Amino acid sequence: MAKAPDSKWKTLAAAVKLFRQQGYHGTALNDILAAAGSPRGSLYFHFPGGKEEIGESALTLAGEAVRQGIVRAAEVSDSTEMFLTRVARAMAADLEKSDYQEGCPIATTALETSAQSEVLGEATSAAFRKWEIEISSGLERFGMTRDEADQVATMVLSQLEGALLLARTYRSPEPLQRAEEALKLLARIGQEK
């Protein structure tokens, strides 16, 4: 018999979902507790630092999930184009599955808090950096030099993050589809050199 998730895990999962949908400032502790079905006492037991500690942990959890997805995409791909396509499609599928309610698990909170909270700013920065590193590693795996891969990784992440924002705003997959095509073109150009 599978063990039921503990209240700490449920609290973090609820926080990730709510921060994606409503942002950090738009999410109250009571919202997180209600969504998690957790008692108030467990919140302060697991997160004595309050909402900021929950935010940091939720961002770390969500960031790690995306990082692992990027690693898996590189491992199961045979080319740069396939790798970048898998990353783009995974992000598009996640957004569509949420009916355009949940964009990037980091971006909304990063935009809201990075200038006001050193803790949350560091958590969002660390997540984005890890994603860039994994994209770069995947690109190196398919033949790019480290310098090229680092530059292209920043461009890939910027392209996808912008496309996620537009797709969520437009409530349409088109921006992500166009971003995917742009990334395929980039991969083909890189292979021709």
Q: Which domains does the chain have, with CATH numbers?
A: 62-192 (1.10.357.10)
- Whether 114 and 125 have beta carbons less than 8 Å apart is answered as yes
pLDDT at 3 over 60: no
Average pLDDT over residues 75-99: 95
pLDDT bucket at 193, cuts 50 / 70 / 90: low
- Close Cβ partners of 48 (under 8 Å, ≥ 6 residues apart): none
Q: Which pLDDT belongs to residue 115?
A: 87
pLDDT at 191: 64
DSSP tally for the chain: helices H, then strands E = 9, 0
- Average pLDDT across the chain, whole number: 92
Residue 91: pLDDT over 50: yes
Confidence category of residue 4, pLDDT binned at 50, 70, 90: very low
Residue 177, pLDDT above cutoff 80 = yes
pLDDT band at 23 (very low <50, low <70, confident <90, very high): very high
Q: Tell me: pLDDT of 162 over 50.
A: yes
**C-beta neighbour count of 109 within 10 angstroms:** 29
Structure confidence at residue 44 (pLDDT):
83
| Mean pLDDT, range 89-109, rounded to an integer | 93
Residue 141 has pLDDT above 90, yes or no: yes
- Compute the distance between CA of residue 105 and CA of residue 95 in angstroms, rounded to an integer: 10
- Closest Cα to residue 176, out of 49, 69, 86, 65? 86
C-alpha–C-alpha distance, residues 155 and 117, integer Å = 26
Residue 189: pLDDT band by 50, 70, 90 thresholds? confident
Mean pLDDT along residues 50-68: 96
107 has pLDDT over 70: yes
Q: Residue 2 — very low, low, confident or very high, per pLDDT cuts 50/70/90?
A: very low
